A and B are shown apart, each in its own frame.
Chain A
Amino acid sequence: MSDAPLLSIRDLTVEFGGAPALRGISLDVHPGEAVGMVGESGCGKSVTWLAALGLLPRTARTRGSVTLQGEEMLGARPSRLDHLRGGRVAMIFQDPASSLNPVQRIGRQIAEALTLHQGMTGATARAEAKRLLDQVGMPDAQRRLDAYPHELSGGQNQRVMIAMALAGRPELLVADEPTTALDVTIQAQILDLLQALRRERNMALVLITHDLGVVAENCERVAVMYAGRIVEEAPVAQLFDAPAHPYTQGLLDALPPLYGERGPLAAIPGGVPEPWAMPPGCAFAPRCARARPTCTFQVPALTRLRGPHRAACLLAQPVLELA
């Protein structure tokens, strides 16, 4: 993972009507890597990627830089952006049923992406759409090409979304809570499918989720977000073994233990601050059991602790590495 990043986000900020939704995100995604983005609803994990791909409504003000192998995507010409979206970076969404056009057959929706990015039309595109549906494990793919989204289940629709995302042979697939709206058994199937496709195609995967368990099983690296910032970023094993940010520790403590006695889950007291009422210092300070006076006015920067482990907390001390 030391090679040049596939996609780099630098100092990305997003405001909705003056209220900050993202307050400076910097993140690299390397070729073929699986990165998890975790956080509560509203922390900005989806907004980060919608902003990166230029999919936010025009009322959003986006600043910063998002480069795909050196090419700036923010503010890129629409024609260039349309070439990159779906072609090099694809995205799938939370609710597959409403993410597909209800009045168009799914075969046509997949073929549309094939026409745009592979130049396929007619029977060629249809055959390729069928092959993609087979590949994402859609039963009876040939017949399903002529189905409408409402005739399929949620899991099947998410498979259609994945097939459509694969149509452009993307180097990066951003999956925004791809399984939140699905049954637990289907969740596992979809996540397994994403893993298999990633390995087969050497495709990078960004998995946006609020489920740390999903991250542990499916990702190599994880970024924890809180109130529009990344507060901790580390390889998965390191984050689970030695979480440096009190928020991450709180999230891990809130997971139900696999062994031992059953007891009430440890919840983090309080709630996420509203975007228009951000505390001047660390956004987590009001909920943090270990907050010190400095935390209430000093915004901690994301600092390197050990190797690739970074955290944004005044209490987290860098570990000196011996050369």
Chain B
Amino acid sequence: MLRFLASRLFRAALTIAMVVTFAFIVLRLSGDPAQIIMGADAPPEAVVAFRAAWGLDDPLWQQYFRYFAAILNGDLGRSMRDGRDAIDLVAERIPATLALTIPALFIKLALGIPAGVVAALHRNSFIDRAVMALAVAGFTVPSFVLGLLLVLVFAVQLGWLPSGGQESWRHAILPVITLGVGGAAVLARFTRSAMLEVLGQSYIRTASAKGVPWGAVVRNHALPNAAIPTVTIVGFMVGSLIAGAVVVESVFSWPGVGRLLVVAVANRDLAVVQCILLLVAATMVVSNLVVDLLYGVLDPRLRAAPQGAH
């Protein structure tokens, strides 16, 4: 178990290091932060001074090692725009994002899983087709389209809800629904196919043959087995709690991490972008680690040889 954890942690660290490196390289190659932040009309001397101040003149590898050493010391850099610590800038936006993504996650789970189970239990019936048609619609419509549509109907036409901003809980309703619908659709499809797979297994027939009422067959034999693949996808959803709302935050002018990311990328505010990416990678990696441990809890076959998991 300890060896398993150690190897998982090592791989997790490696994944994060790769994300950080990739982000570093792409950001340096895609534009000059000095020029962008100082503006096109800035005097050349000012731009040169800016570069020197932020160490942008040094060779790329020196910048990279300096950056990496700083991370290992817990220093995630400062914003080039206002000089504040990047981590503070990001941290103060996190609650706003979680205020959208956590309720959305509950919507995904509460709608998606039961819908998938019901569809599987009524395979090829009207209910199944209706659920699946909704699910396909739910995840093919991009969130910015759905968001704008909801704004058009509920904010512009009906005037029931605000179209953007963060003043009250009512402002969160439309973005939360926008986020939740797509995820619920994905989860419904995934749960349905996991359930269908399980319902076709011999042990389901065995349970019926020994006289277990159908409801109990579903509860005690089908659901625990179908949960194993479903946990994977839920893990991804948990992992994207921090970065999963970039588009929706922009549509609804919600001041969360996603909007900060969009602005920081546009400004080539390197430290802020990298700080967000690091955070996103870390949450994703941690939630994957939790999923791996959950597999062991849900499936005794993986307990014996956890190294073989995945």
Is A104 touching B202 in the complex (CB atoms < 8 A)?
no
Is A86 touching B211 in the complex (CB atoms < 8 A)?
yes
Report the bound CA distance from A99 to B206 in whole Å.
Answer: 6
Report the bound CA distance from A103 to B212 in whole Å.
Answer: 17
CB interface residues, A 98-123, toward B, < 8 Å: 98-104, 112-113, 116-117
Is A116 touching B225 in the complex (CB atoms < 8 A)?
no
Of A19-27, A162-170, A221-229, the stretch lying at the interface with chain B is A162-170
Give the residue of A98, A113, A117 whose beta carbon is less than 8 angstroms from that of B201. Answer: A98
B209 close to A (CB within 8 Å): yes
Is A101 touching B210 in the complex (CB atoms < 8 A)?
no
A82 close to B (CB within 8 Å): yes
Is B208 touching A101 in the complex (CB atoms < 8 A)?
no
Of A37-45, A65-73, A89-97, A200-208, the stretch lying at the interface with chain B is A89-97
CB interface residues, A 225-247, toward B, < 8 Å: none
Is A55 touching B203 in the complex (CB atoms < 8 A)?
no
CB interface residues, B 255-293, toward A, < 8 Å: none
Report the bound CA distance from A99 to B211 in whole Å.
Answer: 15
Asked if A104 meets B212 with Cβ closer than 8 Å, knowing A93-B202, A95-B202, A99-B203, the reply is no
Of B77-85, B152-160, B297-305, the stretch lying at the interface with chain A is B297-305
Report the bound CA distance from A117 to B210 in whole Å.
Answer: 9
CB interface residues, B 179-237, toward A, < 8 Å: 201-203, 205-214, 220-221, 224-225, 228
A148 close to B (CB within 8 Å): yes
Report the bound CA distance from A85 to B207 in whole Å.
Answer: 10
Q: How far is the CB of B225 from chain A (nearest CB, A)?
A: 6
Chain B: which residue is nearest A59 at the CB level?
Answer: B124
Report the bound CA distance from A262 to B209 in whole Å.
Answer: 44
A residues contacting the other copy or chain, number (CB 8 A): 35
Asked if A87 meets B211 with Cβ closer than 8 Å, knowing A100-B203, A101-B221, A103-B225, the reply is yes
Is A164 touching B210 in the complex (CB atoms < 8 A)?
yes
CB interface residues, B 47-71, toward A, < 8 Å: none
Chain A: which residue is nearest B206 at the CB level?
Answer: A99
Asked if A148 meets B301 with Cβ closer than 8 Å, knowing A98-B201, A101-B221, A103-B224, the reply is yes
Is B203 touching A117 in the complex (CB atoms < 8 A)?
no
A161 close to B (CB within 8 Å): yes
CB interface residues, A 31-61, toward B, < 8 Å: 50, 53-55
Q: How far is the CB of A73 from chain B (nearest CB, A)?
A: 13
Q: How far is the CB of A111 from chain B (nearest CB, A)?
A: 11
A78 close to B (CB within 8 Å): yes
Chain A: which residue is nearest B204 at the CB level?
Answer: A101
Report the bound CA distance from A307 to B176 in whole Å.
Answer: 77
Q: How far is the CB of B297 from chain A (nearest CB, A)?
A: 10
Asked if A113 meets B210 with Cβ closer than 8 Å, knowing A99-B202, A148-B300, the reply is yes
Cβ–Cβ < 8 Å partners of B202 in chain A: 93, 95, 98-99
Interface Cβ pair total, 8 Å cutoff: 83
Report the bound CA distance from A117 to B201 in whole Å.
Answer: 24
Q: How far is the CB of B108 from chain A (nearest CB, A)?
A: 24
For B201, B206, B210, B220, which residue has the most chain A Cβ atoms within 10 angstroms?
B210
Report the bound CA distance from A98 to B221 in whole Å.
Answer: 13
Q: How far is the CB of B173 from chain A (nearest CB, A)?
A: 39
Q: How far is the CB of A150 from chain B (nearest CB, A)?
A: 5
Is A100 touching B206 in the complex (CB atoms < 8 A)?
yes
Report the bound CA distance from A102 to B303 in whole Å.
Answer: 12
Report the bound CA distance from A83 to B221 in whole Å.
Answer: 18
Q: How far is the CB of A300 from chain B (nearest CB, A)?
A: 34
Q: How far is the CB of A120 from chain B (nearest CB, A)?
A: 14
Cβ–Cβ < 8 Å partners of B299 in chain A: 102-103
Q: How far is the CB of B17 from chain A (nearest CB, A)?
A: 36
Asked if A91 meets B209 with Cβ closer than 8 Å, knowing A102-B300, A112-B220, A148-B300, the reply is yes
Give 1 or 0 for each of A134-155: 1 = CB within 8 Å of chain B CB. 0000000000000010110000
Q: How far is the CB of A232 from chain B (nearest CB, A)?
A: 28
Cβ–Cβ < 8 Å partners of A82 in chain B: 211-213
Q: How far is the CB of B221 from chain A (nearest CB, A)?
A: 5
Is A93 touching B211 in the complex (CB atoms < 8 A)?
no
Is A55 touching B209 in the complex (CB atoms < 8 A)?
yes
Is A53 touching B209 in the complex (CB atoms < 8 A)?
yes
A2 close to B (CB within 8 Å): no
A185 close to B (CB within 8 Å): no
For B203, B208, B209, which residue has the most chain A Cβ atoms within 10 angstroms?
B209
Is A112 touching B208 in the complex (CB atoms < 8 A)?
no
Pick the 10 closest A-B CB pairs, nearest first. Answer: A86-B211, A86-B210, A148-B300, A99-B202, A98-B202, A85-B211, A101-B203, A91-B209, A82-B211, A113-B210
Question: Would you list 14 pairs from A and B whose C-beta atoms are within 8 A, ordered by A residue?
Answer: A82-B213, A85-B210, A86-B209, A86-B210, A90-B210, A93-B209, A95-B202, A101-B206, A101-B225, A103-B300, A112-B212, A161-B206, A164-B206, A168-B210
Interface positions of A (Cβ within 8 A of B): 50, 53-55, 78-79, 82-87, 90-91, 93, 95, 98-104, 112-113, 116-117, 148, 150-151, 161, 164-165, 167-168
